[in-house]
Structure formats: C-alpha cells, structure tokens
Amino acid sequence: MIRGIRGATTVSGNVEKEILENTEELLLHIIQENQVGPESVASVFISVTDDLSAGFPAKALRNFKEWSFVPVMCMREIPVPGSLEKCIRIMMHVNTTKPQNEIKHIYLKEAIQLRPDLSQSIK
C-alpha cells in the first residue's frame, strides 16, 4: 500500500544554501523516523511558498546515496493570504505495510504550527 509521509520546515531567507540544507535536514528526519529506503519510495513532491525562488529544494535529495532514481518534483504552494511564509513542504509517497497511525510526520522550525495534531516534531 502507498502511504503519504508529510513534512515541512521553514527558512529565514530566500538563499539557495539554506533552502538545500533545511530540505536535506527535513528529508533525513522523514527517512530515519519512518525507516524509509529509496526502493520503497514511489515519488516525492516538494512545494515552496512564493517567497522562495533561489533554488530547487529537490536537489537536496540527490545528497542521499542510492536515491538518484527516486522521482522528485518541485512546485509552488497556493499563495493564501496570511499563510506561513518561507515554507518548504514535502509529501513522500512510500510503499509500506504500516498503518496510517504509525506514519511519523515531521515538522521543523516554524512549520510545527501547520499541523501540531499530526506532528512528530523534532526540535
């Protein structure tokens, strides 16, 4: 069965290095907390808010050994007034036998406020 693993983080500015580093940190936590291997991943969607354009956060996944064949796509979030700024969101589609209540969704930095009810936040 395919399950979605959600995650989000924020950056302090529109700087490629920070976008890549924070995305890599979020991916690492999602992978570790859910014991995900690249062979079980169907795809990864990464979205950014309108204020982030300095780099493609999907490039961060290429820093993980053996993940080069995992399909990954970047996109923009809907620019809803008053929504969290400078935010990177991830939806990882994983083949797993785990029930949904065992999936660990990861929210870092200011993104913790997005879904505190689902969050397995790492501070």
Give the residue numbers annotated as catalytic, written as ranges.
Answer: 6, 62, 74, 77, 89, 107, 115
CB 31 within 8 A of CB 122: no
| HEC sequence for 98-112 | CCHHHCCEEECHHHH
- Residue 119 gets which letter from DSSP? B
End-to-end CA distance of the chain: 30
